[in-house]
């Protein structure tokens, strides 16, 4: 990153701090964010174009860039188990995560499940029928597994 781009990112951070404290208007903050985002995207595109152009001559830079993008964080942070204890060991974390995700299929009521708020009449609410969905398709949604767009199906 060059100094201009670093300055834009710094301005964005300062504008955010000012907006959170009420010293900067929302519109001014949004303009700063948009300008910084555009500059970062342009710089990234230029870097990627130059890497693609020079890949035959300078493979090391290209593969370093690719490996930086592929690098993932391998650890999971500490978790709270059902008893409220902090779990730090990998096997214990795996058990906590397994219990959490397995509870979806077992039907056991754990402390993880959200409680339904009182006042709603869930028993008498009728779900929409298939016919209602077919009469009012959302044509701006993406295609489904049948690979037919809703505009093609017609309404």
pTM of the model: 0.47
On the question of pLDDT at 25 being above 70, the answer is: yes
Between 148 and 62, name the one with better pLDDT: 62
- Quick one: which H or E segment has residue 80? strand 79-80
Give residue 134's pLDDT. 73
Nearest-angstrom CA–CA distance, 16 and 30: 9
Nearest-angstrom CA–CA distance, 108 and 5: 53
DSSP three-state, residue 108: coil
Nearest-angstrom CA–CA distance, 67 and 139: 39
Give residue 64's pLDDT. 92
On the question of pLDDT at 84 being above 70, the answer is: yes
Q: Please state the domain extents for the chain.
A: 3-70
* Mean of per-residue pLDDT scores for the chain: 83
Please give the angle made by the CA atoms of 90, 96 and 97, to the nearest 5 degrees.
Answer: 90
Give residue 76's pLDDT. 82
Share of the chain above pLDDT 70, in %: 83
The residues near 41 (Cβ < 8 Å, ≥ 6 apart) are: none
Please give the angle made by the CA atoms of 78, 79 and 82, to the nearest 5 degrees.
Answer: 155
Give residue 129's pLDDT. 78
Between 89 and 125, name the one with better pLDDT: 89
- Quick one: which H or E segment has residue 28? helix 26-53
- CA-CA distances (angstroms) from residue 101 to 1, 68, 85? 42, 31, 18
Please measure the distance between the N-terminal and C-terminal CA atoms of the chain and give it in whole angstroms.
51
What tokens appear for 13 in the block? 């951070």
**Model pLDDT for residues 93-152, shown as the tens digit of each residue:** 999 999 888 877 776 655 555 555 555 555 666 777 777 777 777 777 777 777 777 777
């Amino acid at each position: 990153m060059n100094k201009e781009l670093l300055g834009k990112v710094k301005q964005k951070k300062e504008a955010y701090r000012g907006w959170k404290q009420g010293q900067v208007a929302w519109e001014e903050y949004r303009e700063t964010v948009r300008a910084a985002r555009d500059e970062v995207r342009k710089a990234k595109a230029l870097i990627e174009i130059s890497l693609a152009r020079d890949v035959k001559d300078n493979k090391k830079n290209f593969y370093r860039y690719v490996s930086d993008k592929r690098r993932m964080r391998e650890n999971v942070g500490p978790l709270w188990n059902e008893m409220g204890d902090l779990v730090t060991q990998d096997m214990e974390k795996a058990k906590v995560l397994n219990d959490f995700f397995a509870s979806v299929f077992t039907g056991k009521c754990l402390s993880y499940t959200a409680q339904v708020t009182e006042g709603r009449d869930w028993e008498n609410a009728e779900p929409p029928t298939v016919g209602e969905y077919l009469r009012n398709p959302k044509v701006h949604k993406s295609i489904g597994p049948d690979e037919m767009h809703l505009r093609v199906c017609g309404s």
